[in-house]
Structure 1
Amino acid sequence: MEKNALLQRALTFQKTWLPLVEKGHVSERQHDREFMADFYEVFGISRSVSRAGYEWRVKIDDSHKRIDSLLPKLLIIEMESQGVKLVDNPSAGYEQAARYAYALDDDHKPKYILACDFEHFYLRDPATKNVWTTTLQDFVKDIDEFSFLIGYEQKMQDVQAVVNAQAAEKISKIYRHILDVGVQPNAASLLMTRIVFCLFADDTNIFERNGVFQKFLKDTAKDGSDLLSNLTVLFRQLNTNDHDWIGKKREFGYINGGLFALDISKFTSDLGLTFNAEVRQALIDASHQDWSKISPVIFGSMFEGALDPEKRHDLGAHFTSEKNILKIVDSLFMNDLRHDFDVARHTSNAGGARTKALNRLHDKIIGLRFLDPACGSGNFLIVAYRELRRLEHEILNALIQDQVKGGLQLSFDYVTTNIKVEVSQFYGLEIQSYAVSIARVGMWLMDHLMNVEASELFGELVRRIPLHAGANIIKADSLTANWFEVFSKHNKDSNTKALKPSDLDFILGNPPFLGYTLESPDQKSSHEFATKEVKGYRKLDFASGWFIKSAQAMQENPQIQAALVATNSISQGEQATILWRALFRQGIHISFAHQTFKWDNNGAAVHVVIIGFAKLKTKNLPSIVKSSATLFNRFLLAV
């Protein structure tokens, strides 16, 4: 991190909060999360990472307490209102934070403790008893006191990457073995989806007992001859509810009829296919991985890469960092939703006004629908779902506070009953069947992780087993399919929900990066189908098709908003003139844009932009057509 950039962010933080502090307009209850989020961002720690550690539960003397903020293994922050004594105060400040720190397990115990009243910072390393102090007025001058925070998020991601890469390699080895013994690709993809879910479930309390799937694998014949048939029986069991279960006490409970509904025996055992000792051992090796540490956000991309790197290159697919995904997710909808939440939670509750505002926002977010028309392994959808769930948790936490203050008694399952954001609000199109399978299971895995997070936050066990309806992710050529009709067609013979234009709110994603000359014959055909109405379409990159198709969706529902990643060639030179003139004439305008930045594509630097766009009201169309060149030039300056 460059020092000048660090100092500039520190100065922005200081200028934002110092006037409020000097006027005495801040309090722990109203401003602590905003203050801590801004503080963390100075050091490159995103709101997504910091938000996960708010209100962290810790058990002390048989009761649960809440840590204001925790960065596991690094830092606890205990916020106090202005004027509260930070040191030598048994019920607040450093002493309170120290009790929380000592009660945490070794995987979470932090090195540093920070007590803060918005103006004064008291930082201590309990192991060495070293103490650093500063004030908001001197924050920029003393910025080096907090240098230990720099690089925290990157270190976390690096550790995650290693763990996920190891798991992906083990799973891809199993996938290749399965193909080698004769299982057809579609059946193999479905089989791998179920295996990955079982491995994850074995370490995250989805199954009744952790380790039961590993034991199941080890109990099969050493030559692997009965492994496939035993898996087929297991999947039937996971698809059988308790009411229909006949026989001895089951080791595996009912999961649902979505993930395990299709009987794979006709693709496998009915054809005389069997596994071998190599497949069995690869599965057992994979079961020794700690799947509770696997991230659904990056595992899918790594699994794809481990399967067939050359095919991924041909498809123009790319690994995507969570930081870059959030540039779209935040700019497109989450920043606005968080602003709505801040307004709602700071509303006076006279006459129940705050509670009503929070409930209105809750109703709003559970009614939103999202589409990634080039979803790959689903990482954009997975991150979007996680961020929406975390906002829902914050809304429910505020509603619980209102009920408690109003003297109302909460039901024992209040949180479980009121968590209503579902993976079924998310739709995806993807041309590769194995990526479809990875994306579907990734959404379910993130749903479970969010249930674990909710359990820790609220002290109530939150489990959605049997699984609720899955994400609506289907195999289709996004450039030739009608984005709405294709879901209705699949709805007839699957659990996929239909999607009408009026239902859709946001389009987001990362279309493939390919120049026209690098496209395969099939890709050229799809490209032409989507863009042929645009004069000069052969000069457009492959990704332009998704911009044009998004604009077509907006003609059916002008309320749809979109944001897509593309190489920066889409915003400069002849190609930009061809594409954006056509879109401007349809009444499309640029909502926001992120300047060119590097995107690592398996070691090759690709320069990309993120462009948010929407349709203007019809009454503005004539002036836009007349001034398209002017707007286009402004857009070029923006990106």
Structure 2
Amino acid sequence: MNDETPKLKALARLTALFSTNYAQYKSSGYDESNARTDFIDKFFEMLDWDVRNEQGFSENYREVIREDKVKIDGQQKAPDYCFRIGGMRKFFVEAKKPGVNIKDNPEPAFQIRRYAYTAKLPLSILTDFDEFAVYDTRIKPDKSDKASVARIFYCTFQEYEQQFDFICNTFSKNAILKGSFDRYVEENKNKKGTTPIDEDLLFFVEDWRIELAKNIALRNPDISIYNLNTVVQKTIDRILFLRIAESKGIEDADLLKTVSQSINVYEHLNQLFIRANIKYNSGLFKPESWIEQVRIDNKILSNIIVNLYYPDCPYEFAVLPVEILGNIYEKFLGKTIRFKGVKGGHSAVIEEKPEVRKAGGVYYTPQYIVDYIVQNTVGMLIKDKTPDEIAALRFVDPACGSGSFLVGAYQYLLNYHLDYYTNGKNKKAAIKKEKIYEAAHDAYKLTIAEKQQILQNNIYGVDIDSQAVEVTKLSLYLKLLENEGNEASGQLFRFSDMALLPSLENNIKCGNSLISTDFYAQGDLGLSDEEQFKVNCFDWDKEFAGVFKAGGFDAVIGNPPYTYLISDEIQRYFQWMYKYQDYQKDLYLIFLEKYSKLLKQSGTFGVIVSNTWLLSVTYRKIRQYLTLSYRWRKILYLPEKVFSEAVVDTHVLIFDYNVPKENDYFDVEVCRNKAVTQMHTVQFSDIPKDGSPINVTVNPKGRILFNKIIQQCRPLSDYCNIYNGVKPFEKGKGKPPQSDRVMKEKPYVLEGERTGKEWSPLLRGSLIHRYTNRWNSDYWIQYGEWLAAPRDPAIFTALQKIVVRQTGDSLIATVIGPGVICRDNLHIIINNSDLSLLFYLALVNSKLLNFIYEIINPEKGEALAQVKKSHVEQLPIPVINLSKKSDKTAHDNFVALVDKMLELKLQEHAEPNPKAKTMIQRQIGAVDGQINEAVYRLYGLTEEEIGVVEG
């Protein structure tokens, strides 16, 4: 508490001053500006915040952004303070004059909640120094809410000293740096009403889409499905853009609202779009006569527009991050409008796109992953360069979706340029050349012209979906205008006819990044219009002729699609065009091959992809290609699910298009809780070049040990046959000969029913534990043709077999006798050698082979981890010669130890006395230790190598 004593003394002086002149400060003559200067600024300075930027941080890294009053239509459009760490918003503070009743007046509460909810900030503060209120701003605000709704803390200035621990430990800069703020947020999450803005706004946007689609389909009976999707998308994009421009003061207040009250709303909207086209000249508002002739009912458009305005609208568009809008649109693009009925009729419905349905949904890349990739590609390439040097660099996302990676790259470039120009030695020249201007006292911004130039010079993208292309452009335009106000359309262009937005027609294009026009060399394919759109051939060298004349792109970034519905024609094309594919079931593998055709020599790609390319035994060609053609710079291991809705395991690759050298090194990093740390450095010579699976998460010592063991052993499949268990009849997939001949559980299978030969015990994975089978008449099955596939009789008749549980992140096995049917969540090992099956069981359950297994298939800690049959087959087994006395002794010792272990496990399960059970468990631990020590001796491990395994 000693560290806080000076702060408490300063706080006591400040509250005493306020108390002494209380009546004056509460009077109408004392305004908010004075309250901020006299009290609120000083209060937050006590919490270690550099409110006045006395440290002289650059614009991008000021700790506190203090906004001047911006009012549009009588409503303030930005919070008074934004508190940031490393340029990232943490919370807002809205200040009022002391005469305002914060405790009971709902309007100021609604105001701060709208700001912070829209900005997706969890907590924010409302204060006039007389009162101090904290709101949980994850709870969606409503205009009818009382001031107390979502308020989680309240005190008056007389209670500041008493409540200082809470305030300081939550909102001080040091508390945020130490994680106290985030912990407090985490402890108070999942409260009723905490719907994130991206989910909430997506609901509204999708509702607009269905209402527009139904109405346009009804009023325009001849419209095609493609044109229907286009006009709906453009209408939503244009309305959103103009509403956001209004909120920033770039457009007149109530521009859209006025139009919504006209006699013919759509006609007046189109007139507005034509004027916007002249002003912005970007393609976003480019007039198209067929779109202008579409009929839309007034009621539909008016309802959309009115609900975008205060107080009906819970969002403040002036502070809406572009990244959140991108998240919304990414999911929005996963669905499409279809006509309902055989002949279409004129009823429209919204359906998930087939390729999205197959992939299990749309997965938006989290911002921290975008930032990591951009920093390690764009950031690396522009480091220490001048703006003139950067102007020659080209960055592309060949599957750009809603544009999240391009927006991230653009933001990084904007930050770099502003830092460069505001550097002391560059500032004067940058102002003279109109690269920056002073927006407020000692606060600078890039000019619109400079931001336009950066965008057109550096940012490129392609997507097969025309709607995605339009959304990417929209996202980039909104990023360009993100921190602008009314000066963007006024002061900056008093002497210029330059439009506010640049054209991106030459930068962001629609096409299939993987298919060129040579696709049609296959002959007349007789493709339908819909199939033509799916093919959507794209010739990179023609579409970006200038880029490829200069050698190609400097960096490729993005998140390529992982799965896709591929026609036979496209499949044949891929097999002909791409030479390093074992088979095409994941498009990301083809993208990994395509990147070398897009990059300059020494160019870089940074992408997040599935980790199957490194680990699957089937992907040998692409693995060999990437190991021989690229210098690996970084791999970011992602043990936590990046895409919460998806089951795919991912990692980030940062590779340079350069032939690697054996003495090259690359970094393996790990990301946990969004924090990146170094795991280890790997020498490239340690990576197999023959296409063998690679586990980069193993530290170098573990890799050396792994290679040593693999070289001196043979795979388990050389000694044993490994099978998958049987798959019972699945409902909806054919019909069994008798309706009751399916898997039955104990309640339905009585003793008298099991007298025939058809019934057999059914063993499931959940019943198997190390050296233990917990089956106890739980499940039975009638085995026959109705099961998924016939099986080798040996899996039923073998006197002994090892079963390995499929579900889990480690090897769990035991031995069972004949006559038991194993479910398909078990793998079956049947001995085909002169060694005892118990010998193999000891090895499979040992620490060493579990260590080896984690290298072969690194799914440790993953929620949906699975032991795969192919990985069991690869387990390394030493060569044992039973005619050799030492080998025979070692072998027999394993058999004796496992016999003892199986006996102890049965005793443990049957023992009801807890004390006796504990004694048995201690014996089990001792035998387990003996087995592990014997395994280490068998494989010839040194003490240091044992340490690697145990570690």
Q: TM-score range by the shorter chain?
A: 0.5 to 0.7
Partner of 2:288: 264
The equivalent residue for 2:352 is 310
Q: How many residues align?
A: 493
> Mapping of 1:394-433 within 5 angstroms?
394-399=419-424, 403=428, 415-416=446-447, 419=451, 422-424=454-456, 425-433=458-466
The residue that corresponds to 1:480 in the other structure is: 515
TM-score by length of 2: 0.44
CA distance in 2, matches of 1:571, 1:453: 52
Letter of the 1:547 partner, please give it. L
C-alpha spacing 1:536/1:519, structure 2 compared with 1 (3 Å): same
Residues 200-219 of structure 1: pairs in structure 2 closer than 5 A: 200-207=244-251, 209-219=252-262
Which of 582, 589, 603 aligns to 2:631? It is 589
Question: What's the offset of the Cα at 1:542?
Answer: 1.7
Q: Distance in 2 between matches of 1:462 and 1:159?
A: 38
Please identify the structure whose Cα radius of gyration is greater: 2
Pick aligned residue for 1:323 from 361, 365, 368: 368
**Per-residue Cα deviation, 1:445-495 (whole angstroms, up to 9, x for no partner):** 11110445999xxxx979984212337221111111389974665579xxx
After superposition, what is the alpha-carbon deviation per residue over 1:314-335, rounded to whole angstroms, capped at 9, x for unaligned? Answer: 4744222212222322232336
Secondary structure at the counterpart of residue 514 of structure 1: coil
Which residue is equivalent to 1:536? 582
Could you tell me how far apart the structure 2 residues matched to 1:526 and 1:195 are? Answer: 41
Aligned residue for 1:605, secondary structure, equals: coil
The separation in 2 between residues aligned to 1:216 and 1:284, in whole angstroms, is 9
* Matching of residues 490-501 of structure 1 within 5 Å: 500=549
1:438 aligns with 2:438: no
Q: Deviation string for 1:25-71 (max 9, x for gaps)?
A: xxx9999969xxxxxxxxxxxxxxx95764523559xxxx9998477
Given that residues 589 and 614 in structure 1 are in contact (C-alpha distance below 8 angstroms), is that contact kept between their aligned partners in structure 2? yes
Identify the residue that residue 390 of structure 1 maps to in structure 2: 415
Q: Secondary structure at the match of 2:259?
A: helix
CA distance in 1, matches of 2:179, 2:213: 47
The partner residue of 2:502 within 465, 468, 471 is 468
Cα displacement (A) at 1:381: 0.9
- Contact 1:366–1:422, Cα closer than 8 Å, also in 2: yes
Q: CA deviation at 1:572?
A: 0.5
Which string of whole-angstrom CA distances, capped at 9 and with x for unpartnered residues, describes residues 174-207 of structure 1? 5524652445435424444333322322322221
**Structure 1 match to 2:322:** 296
Instruction: Kindly state the Cα deviation for residue 164 of structure 1 after the two structures are TM-superposed.
Output: 3.3
Match of residue 524 from structure 1: 571
User: 2:308 matched to 1:287?
Assistant: yes
Once the 2 structures are TM-superposed, how far is the Cα of residue 388 of structure 1 from its aligned partner? Answer: 1.9
Write the letter of the residue equivalent to 2:369: N
- One-letter amino acid of the counterpart of residue 256, structure 2: F
User: 2:368 corresponds to which letter in structure 1?
Assistant: K
Distance change in 2, residues 1:418/1:203 (3 Å): closer
Q: Distance in 1 between matches of 2:511 and 2:357?
A: 17
Report matched runs for 1:442-457 at 5 Å. Answer: 442-451=475-484
Q: Cα 1:546–1:55, aligned 2, differ >3 Å: closer, same or farther? A: same
- Map 1:142-221; keep pairs closer than 5 Å: 147-150=180-183, 159-177=196-214, 180-181=217-218, 182=220, 183-184=223-224, 185-186=226-227, 187-188=230-231, 189-207=233-251, 209-219=252-262, 221=263
The residue that corresponds to 1:375 in the other structure is 400
What is the aligned partner in structure 1 of residue 708 from structure 2? none
- What whole-Å deviation, never above 9, does each CA across 1:68-109 have from its counterpart, x for those lacking one? 847767489xxxxxxxxxxxxxxxxxxxxxxxxxxxx95587
Distance 1:265 1:420, change over 3 A: closer
SS at 2:503's partner residue? Answer: coil
Matches within 5 A, 1:474-623: 474-481=509-516, 486=539, 489=542, 500=549, 502=551, 504-514=553-563, 519=566, 521=568, 524=571, 527-528=574-575, 530-531=577-578, 533-534=579-580, 536-538=582-584, 541-554=586-599, 557-585=600-628, 587-599=629-641, 603-617=645-659
The DSSP-based 3-state class of the residue aligned with 2:514 is coil
* Conservation of the 8 A alpha-carbon contact between 1:527 and 1:542: no
C-alpha offsets along residues 581-623 of structure 1, whole Å, 9 cap, x if unaligned?
Answer: 02333x2232211113454657333211111212225888999
CA contact (8 A) 2:463 2:511 kept: yes
The question of whether the paired residues in 2 share the 8 Å contact of 1:588 and 1:614 is answered with yes
The answer to whether the Cα contact below 8 Å between 1:514 and 1:543 also exists between their aligned partners in 2 is yes
**Letter of the aligned partner of 2:614 in structure 1?**
S
CA distance in 2, matches of 1:444, 1:513: 28
Q: Secondary structure at the match of 1:150?
A: helix
Deviations 1:197-246 (A, max 9, x none): 22322322221x12212211221x3xxxx333333333222233xxxxxx
With structure 1 as the length reference, what TM-score do the two structures score? 0.63
Q: Unpaired runs of 5+ in structure 2?
A: 1-51, 70-79, 94-110, 117-123, 130-154, 167-171, 337-349, 518-535, 665-683, 700-857, 859-951
- Opposite residue 444 of structure 1, the aligned amino acid is Y
Distance 1:454 1:267 in 2: 32
Question: Aligned AA for 2:296?
Answer: F
The 5-angstrom pairing of residues 225-244 of structure 1 reads 226-240=264-278
Structure ranking higher on relative contact order (CA contacts 8 Å, 6+ apart)? 1
Does structure 2 conserve the Cα–Cα contact (< 8 Å) formed by 1:319 and 1:602? no
